[in-house]
Structures are given as C-alpha cells and as structure tokens.
Amino acid sequence: MALSAPPNFEAIEIEGVMVSIRPDFIVGGGGKNRVGAGIVRVAKAPDPAGGKMPETRTRRGEIRREMARYIVAMQQLLLEAQKGALGIPDRDLCFVADVRLGERIGPAPDHAIRLRDIRSACRQIVGLWEAVQPKPALFKKP
C-alpha cells in the first residue's frame, strides 16, 4: 500500500455546510489510479479498556468503531469532491487506524446509508443554523 502526505485540502460543501476533513495520509491503489485516505486515531476517549465491566468495554469499543466508520465515509466525500484530481476515489482504500483498539477500520457494510445520513444531517444543520444564537459571553474578551 503506497502512502503519501495529503495536500492541504480546502473545506468541502456538503448540502450547504462547509466541512473540513483532514486525513493523515493519502493511500495509493497500486497503480490502478485508485485513491483512498487514512486517519490515525489516537484519541483517549472513550477508552475501551477503561470500563470495569466487560459490557462497558465492549460498548466503548463499538462507539469508537462507529465514529471511525463515519470518518471513513467523510473521507470518501472529501476524495469525491476533488473531482478525480488525485485519482478515482475507492472507499475500500479509506480507513481509520485506531491505535487504542489496535484495529484498522474500513467502510461499514451499510456505507451508503452512512453517506445519506451525513448529507441529511448537513441539510438539517442548514435548516436550523439561522435560529442558533450564541451566548453573548462568547464574544467577551478575557
């Protein structure tokens, strides 16, 4: 698997929402002009090993895997937005390397549904954004 440094990607628009996606590396598809992306995830929370009960450890691991599967879908959207400049996006070359779990997490079996969910969430954000009023305290300088 050929890995290279990613370019400095601009934010992409998903259903009217500007989204910044920053993969750690680009994955080459072995000369077939296919391209993917990868992210190394080292974040502490949720720590699967931190639960005292086996059920808690299992649930925390599944939460991390779910987040990773959505990250994989976002990487595919990022590559598709490049309109072939890097190659033909291949979802099977997109993954998250989760250090805490010690796993490579690729696209989910319901990957297409996740892409629709992301687009739907962005449509909902656009519809609600105008009604969001920040707290005045956020504008005060410390």
Q: Residue 76 in contact with residue 92, Cβ under 8 Å?
A: no
Question: The pTM is what?
Answer: 0.81
* 132, 93 Cβ separation under 8 angstroms: no
Contacts of 123 (CB under 8 A, 6+ apart): 15, 16
pLDDT band at 131 (very low <50, low <70, confident <90, very high): confident
Residue type at position 108: A
What is the pLDDT at residue 30?
A: 61
Domain boundaries, the chain: 2-139
| pLDDT of amino acid 34 | 92
Give the Cα separation of 57 and 46 in Å (integer). 9
Closest of 24, 53, 26 to residue 39, by C-alpha: 24
What's the pLDDT tens digit per position in 50-101? Answer: 667 778 778 888 888 999 999 999 999 999 999 989 999 999 999 999 998 8
Q: Out of 17-26, 40-49, 94-103, pick the least confident.
A: 40-49
